[in-house]
Structure 1
Amino acid sequence: MAATSARALKLLSIFGVGATLTAEELATRLGASVRTVRRDIDTLRELGYDIEAVRGAGGGYRLGSATRLPPVVFDEDQAVAAAVALQTAPAILSGIRENSARALATLQQAMPARSRVHAEAFTVSAARNYWEFPAAPIDAEIVHLIGEAINRQHTVRVDYTGQGEPATLTLEPHDLVVWAARWYLVAFEPAADRWRAMRIDRLQPRMPAGRAFDRRELPHGDPVAFVMSTHDRGDTPAEWPCRGSAVIALPAPVVARFAPGGSTVEHETDSSCRLTLGAWSWAGLAGLLLTFDADLTGIEPAELRQALRSLRIRIDRGLGDAR
Structure 2
Amino acid sequence: MTSDMTARILRLLSLLQTRREWSGSDLAERLDVTVRTVRRDIDRLRELGYPVDSARGHAGGYRLAAGTDLPPLLLNDDEAVAIAVALRTAAGGLAGIEETALRALAKLEQVLPRRLRGQVTALQESVAGITWEDRGPRADPALLATLAVSCRDHEILTFDYTTRGGTTASRRVEPHHLIASGALWYLLAHDTEKDDWRLFRLDRITHPLPTGRRVPPRPVPGDDPAAFVADRLSAAPTRHRAVATVHAPADHIRARTRGLATRLRPAGENTCLLDASDDSLPRIARTLAGLDTDYTLDADPDVIAYLRDAARRALRATG
Q: Provide the TM-score with structure 1 as the length reference.
A: 0.45
Q: Provide the TM-score with structure 2 as the length reference.
A: 0.46
